[in-house]
């Protein structure tokens, strides 16, 4: 069960609206996250089917993971409605589902249960670090409600990572996956980061704000702005540590890898 409740623990009435309401990039980021998180049941159903012979995993996915992810969506939706009340969230979300659901085949899961756990760890690395960046950004903007909300979600995502890590250990006792295989899954997952769900969510919001027209250039500009924001607020070192952790190197090697991977990311413009 979620450890916090967005209706009781987040004081939406204390939002310093004037600090955030003109920030279009923030609006898009929070709104896109709300659309994707609130649709988490689709992902949870796929995973429950894949792990149906392991009741510990299915119970955790249904009773904790799915409920927490959906709460992330609802809490962010409420934030959007409080700050950007002129935006018709329901209409935008309906358009998102219209665009996204036809593309949303049962998720291509990895070939083994252990490898799928590695893929889930990379997804949770993405979400934890995303909300950490939002928390850092909200601190800079001096908006304490978003800061607290992003912090609560960030903690949940790190917790999810630790559960998938535990389940990975469980399967890896039998699967004994090679580092090469694990690295392949990590890189494959990283390439999928800028995925269809983000683009469809952006498009649904953009169309809603611009009377139905969509401009691909606007999406490219949005991604450029995200990169600019990330260069100041994204916790790169944390992301790298979480990403390479499934390789199970010793701690000293792990720490010495961080600056090397960070250097490679800079060269690649990530
Ligand atoms: Fe989430
Ligand atoms: Fe999560």
Q: What is the pLDDT of residues 13-71, one digit of tens each?
A: 999 999 999 999 999 999 999 999 999 888 898 899 999 999 999 999 999 999 999 99
Measured from the alpha carbon of residue 122, the closest ligand is 2
Per DSSP, the residues of 134-202 read HHHHHHHHT-HHHHHHHHHHHHHHHHHHHHHHHHHHHHHHHH---HHHHHHHHHHHHHTSS-HHHHHHH
Q: What is the pLDDT of residue 111?
A: 87
Cα(198) to centroid(ligand 1), Å: 14
Q: Is residue 197 part of a domain?
A: yes
CA atoms within 13 A on the CB side of 166: 9
pLDDT of residue 250: 74
Residue with the larger pLDDT of the pair 109 and 95: 95
Any domain includes 95: yes
Ligand nearest to the CA of 134: 1
pLDDT digits (tens, 9 = 90+) for 120-166: 999 999 899 999 999 999 999 999 999 999 999 999 999 999 999 99
Residue 143 lies in a domain: yes
Cα of 246 from ligand 2 centre, angstroms = 17
Range of the domain at 224: 6-268
Does 62 reside within a domain? yes
Q: pLDDT band at 106, cuts 50/70/90?
A: low
* Domain annotation covers residue 34: yes
Over residues 191-250, the pLDDT tens digits come to 766 577 899 999 999 999 988 788 889 999 999 999 888 888 888 888 888 888 888 877
The answer as to whether 1 is a domain residue is no
53, 158, 172 from 164: Cα distances, Å: 16, 10, 12
**CATH classification at residue 120:** 1.10.620.20
- d(CA 69, ligand 1 centre) in Å: 4
Q: Residue 209 belongs to what H/E stretch?
A: helix 196-209
- In a domain, residue 63? The reply is yes
CA of 7 to the centre of ligand 1 (A): 17
With respect to residue 45, please indicate whether it lies within any of the assigned structural domains: yes
Count the domains in the chain. 1
What is the value of pTM for the model shown? Answer: 0.92
């Amino acid at each position: 069960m979620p450890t916090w409740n967005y209706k009781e623990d987040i004081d939406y009435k204390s939002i310093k609206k004037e600090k955030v309401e003109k920030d279009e990039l923030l609006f898009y980021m929070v709104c896109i996250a709300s659309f994707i998180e609130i649709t988490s049941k689709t992902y949870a159903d796929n995973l429950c089917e894949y792990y149906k012979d392991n009741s510990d995993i299915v119970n955790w996915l249904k009773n904790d993971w799915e409920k927490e992810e959906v709460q992330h969506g609802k809490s962010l939706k409420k934030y959007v409605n409080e700050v950007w009340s002129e935006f018709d969230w329901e209409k935008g979300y309906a358009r998102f589902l219209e665009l996204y659901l036809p593309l949303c085949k049962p998720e291509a899961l990895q070939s083994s249960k252990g490898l799928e756990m590695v893929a889930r760890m990379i997804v949770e690395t993405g979400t934890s670090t995303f909300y950490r960046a939002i928390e850092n950004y909200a601190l800079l903007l001096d908006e304490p409600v978003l800061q607290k909300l992003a912090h609560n979600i960030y903690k949940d995502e790190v917790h999810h990572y630790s559960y998938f890590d535990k389940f990975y250990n469980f399967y890896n006792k039998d699967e004994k996956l090679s580092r090469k295989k694990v690295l392949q899954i990590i890189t494959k997952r990283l390439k999928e980061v800028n995925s269809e769900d983000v683009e469809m969510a952006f498009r649904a919001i953009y169309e809603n704000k611009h009377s139905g027209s969509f401009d691909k250039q606007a999406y490219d500009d949005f991604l450029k702005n995200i990169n600019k924001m990330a260069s100041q607020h994204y916790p790169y070192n944390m992301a790298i540590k979480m990403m390479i952790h499934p390789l199970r190197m010793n701690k000293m090697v792990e720490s010495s890898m961080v600056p090397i991977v960070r250097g490679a990311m800079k060269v690649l413009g990530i």
